[in-house]
Amino acid sequence: MISTQPFGRTGHDSTRVIFGAAALGGMSQSRADQTLAVMSAAGINHIDTAASYGESELRLRDFLSDHRTDHFLATKTGERTGSAARRELETSLERLGVDHVDLIQLHNLVEPEEFEVAHGAGGAVEALVAARDEGLVRWIGVTGHGTRIADMHLRSLDRFDFDSVLLPYNASMMQNPAYATAFDALVARCATRRVAVQTIKSVARRRWPAESTEPHYAWYEPLPEGDALRRGVAFVLNREGLFLNTSSDGRLLPAIIAAATADLPMPTDSELGADMADLGITPLFDGAELERI
């Protein structure tokens, strides 16, 4: 079974593997139901979706009607003003068919100007606090991509007492010294304040090559099933306190689950280096041209 640990200060023991429901966004309902059955059989008890993930919230609706109390449910809003964030939250609740979510997250809060709007008077943070007071959400988090996000999350934690953060973490990104330093500082701050740390892109290989003709089920090319993917999962789960969000390529869910239940050791630097060389693994973000998704 997949191990569990406290999800920050929420009082919920979440599986260390969180189901990334972005995978459902482009699926038919029948395919989504099959994917959720795989998730459920593995004992995963935490689901992460977002208003912007296509049909994901709708694909979860029937499943949640029978299994809501068995799962910690998180969604996200990309809106920055309070009124727009409130509308998007209400729409998410309707689409999911629930009266509240456990966690609402400010989605990809990276740009400084958006940060100021969200944290300012009449901004999304203020509206989500009001929604929490009304019982529509229980906890509030913040997410993001790119090489700047660890520093931005530290800024967010200075401005508001968020309950969770979410950001990229894999061996290739941690080769960036500035990102690694900021990531480690963020993890230390979160441990002190009992803030949950969720990671994404654990099995990312690179951005899709221009000549690629295979189906794209994620905006990035994931690692293929095999040893490199297993080492990508192990790289995350061997670091104490982190959670791993599964890939938006739902085909990889069984392989990620298998790796997570295998209790694999931390991969060595030589193994990770060989994977990068053999598979052409490169960071998804570079602080410049590749900073935005």
Which pLDDT value is given to residue 12?
Answer: 98
Domain borders along the chain are: 12-279
State pLDDT tens for residues 187-236: 999 999 999 999 999 999 999 998 989 889 899 999 999 999 999 999 99
The b/e string for 25-61 (b: 16+ C-beta within 10 A; e otherwise) is: bbbeeeebeebbeebeebebbbbbbbbbbebbbbbbb
Read off the pLDDT of each residue in 42-61 and give the average, rounded to a whole number. 97
Which pLDDT value is given to residue 144?
Answer: 97
Does the reported pTM lie above 0.85? Answer: yes
Which pLDDT value is given to residue 56?
Answer: 98
Architecture of domain 12-279: Alpha-Beta Barrel (3.20)
User: What mean pLDDT, rounded, does the chain reach?
Assistant: 96
pLDDT band for position 4 (cuts 50, 70, 90): very high
The residue assigned the tokens 């100021």 is 116
Read off the pLDDT of each residue in 144-150 and give the average, rounded to a whole number. 96
Question: Is the predicted pLDDT of residue 289 greater than 80, yes or no?
Answer: no
Which pLDDT value is given to residue 215?
Answer: 87
Whether 106 contacts 118, CB under 8 Å? yes
Q: In the chain, which residue ranges form alpha helices assigned H by DSSP? A: 29-41, 56-67, 82-96, 112-119, 124-133, 149-159, 177-193, 227-237, 253-260, 269-279
